[in-house]
Amino acid sequence: MTPASPNPPPRVLPTLVLAQLAGTSPWFAVNAVMPDLQRAYGYSDAAVGTLTSALQLGFIAGTLVFALLALADRLSARRLFLGCALAAALCTLAAAASAGNLPLLMFWRVLTGFCLAGIYPVGMKIAALWFPRGLGAALGWLVGALVLGSASPHALRALGAALPWQTVFIAVAAASALAGALVVWRVPEPPHPAGLVPLRLSALSSVWRDARVRASAFGYFGHMWELYTVWVMLPLVLATRLQGTVVVSGWAFAVLGAGAAGCVVGGLVARRHGSARVAGAQLATSGLCCIASPWLLGAPLPLFLAWMLLWGMTVAGDSPQFSALTAANAPRQAVGSVLTLTNSIGFAISALSIEIFVRAAAAGSLASVLPWLALGPLLGLLALRPLLAPSS
């Protein structure tokens, strides 16, 4: 790869962080207004899981297509980001217009997920080209922006509780379009690699053949079993103790937003203690939050809210560290391929987990369902052991 500029323009990273935050805001637009959709159209409690899984599957398809065609290498990554951000905005508006038709709404959410594959990963690609030696810190900020952007529809719903629910869709569509414009306007074209390296499907073998890649990849898979399911079920959990759209949506944003702090702080701590130990500590903590749920669901309100904030911080905070570990341990000639494929598997696991847990919660009690989320962190910690050894 051609060396990046030793002094990237100071505006590049802040602009990418802001663009990631705004560009990923359509992710949970439906989740933020699901109570409104249920009242208006009679959707079941399980519909939120199905709609979120649809977006996750669209994202998986998008990442694989973009990687197989190497679009971020063949085209300007900035303009690809812009095109996908504008397309995601249009899909979001179309989803709002067809919200009363569940199959059509699912269709638009699948397409939104496909477009998001050209926002989140492509933004990471641009950052990797500008900051090849400082990617760990950049990842913490960018994944933190993803978390905060995903949480932003809940903040919008809390602030605009008196407004029609369609306002959330219009606002996140505008934010997505603005994100694309920011990247094209404020981020220069990054240095390009010397040669095009296509997606190597054979690189998937390193996920089980190489012990260190296997450790980080399977740790990430355990993390993904828990992460998005917690995010999807969060309003339901909060609603057991809190009342009103403003309060529930506001706290949903606060708990999801705590994950952004977890990503940034985790990235800083990883400089001293290493990504594996930071990821392991956060994975263990979020797993304990799952196990403790039957007792903390009925705890005094301050303790309940503290538990929610801790869970929100740690369930997301290990995400950039798993990406950094996999990037560091994968074969040099196939880093992009391994990251793409492990991310695709991880999001497939998240779609399965969402469907299982949302439907189980609709049929039973949260106290009996939430502890089973700890299976992901437990298996992830077991997989991560080779990287947690003192010599790692």
Q: What is the pLDDT of residues 29-77, one digit of tens each?
A: 999 999 999 999 999 988 999 999 999 999 999 988 887 777 777 778 8
CB 317 within 8 A of CB 15: no
Please tell me the distance from the alpha carbon of residue 223 to that of residue 157, in angstroms, as a whole number: 28
pTM over 0.85: yes
The closest of 251, 306, 256, 310 to 282, measured between CA atoms, is 310
Nearest alpha-carbon partner for 313 in 376, 274, 255: 255
Residue 258 has pLDDT above 50, yes or no: yes
- The boundaries of every CATH 1.20.1250.20 domain in the chain are 9-188, 205-392
In tens, the pLDDT along 143-170 reads 888 899 999 999 999 998 889 999 999 9
Helical H segments across the chain, by residue range = 12-23, 29-41, 47-68, 71-74, 77-97, 102-116, 120-130, 135-159, 166-186, 206-209, 211-238, 245-273, 275-291, 293-296, 301-317, 319-329, 335-363, 366-369, 375-388
CATH number for domain 9-188, candidates 1.20.1300.10, 1.10.150.120, 1.20.1250.20, 1.25.40.10: 1.20.1250.20
**Token pair 């669209």 in the structure block, residue:** 58
How confident is the model over 216-222, as a mean pLDDT? 93
| pLDDT on residue 136 | 61
Identify the pLDDT of residue 242. Answer: 95
Residue with tokens 């397309």: 87
Whether residue 333 contacts residue 20, with contact meaning beta carbons closer than 8 Å, is answered with no
Query: Count H helices, E strands: the chain?
Result: 19, 0
For residue 2, the model assigns a pLDDT of 44
92 with 26: CB under 8 angstroms? yes
- Within 13 Å of residue 93, how many CA atoms lie on the same side as its CB? 12
Banded model confidence at residue 173, pLDDT cuts 50, 70, 90: very high
In angstroms, the CA 7 to CA 79 distance is: 23
**Looking at beta carbons, which pairs linking 160-166 to residues 24 or more positions away fall under 8 Å?**
161/244, 161/245, 161/246, 161/249, 165/33, 165/36, 165/37, 165/40, 166/96
User: In degrees rounded to 5, what are phi and psi of residue 382?
Assistant: -60, -40
In angstroms, the CA 81 to CA 127 distance is 12
Exposed, middle or buried: residue 202 (CB in 10 Å: 0-12, 13-18, 19+)? exposed
Which of 3-7, 268-272, 293-297, 304-308 has the weakest average pLDDT?
A: 3-7
For the domain spanning 205-392, the CATH number is 1.20.1250.20
Per-residue pLDDT tens for 291-334?
A: 999 999 999 999 999 999 999 999 999 988 888 888 777 776 66
Q: Calculate mean pLDDT across residues 339-343.
A: 79
- Could you report the per-residue pLDDT of 342-375, keeping only the tens digit for each? 888 899 999 999 999 999 998 889 999 999 999 9
How many Cβ atoms sit within 10 Å of the Cβ of residue 364? 10
Distance CA 123, CA 139 (A): 10
Q: Tokens 């560091």 — which residue?
A: 328
| Residue range 98-108, pLDDT digits in tens | 999 999 999 99
Q: 132 or 93, which is more confident? A: 93
Contact 392, 273 (CB under 8 A): no
Instruction: Give the C-alpha distances (Å, rounded to integers) separating 348 from 211, 217, 353.
Output: 22, 14, 9
C-alpha 383/C-alpha 306 separation (Å) is 29
* CB 105, CB 98: distance < 8 Å: yes
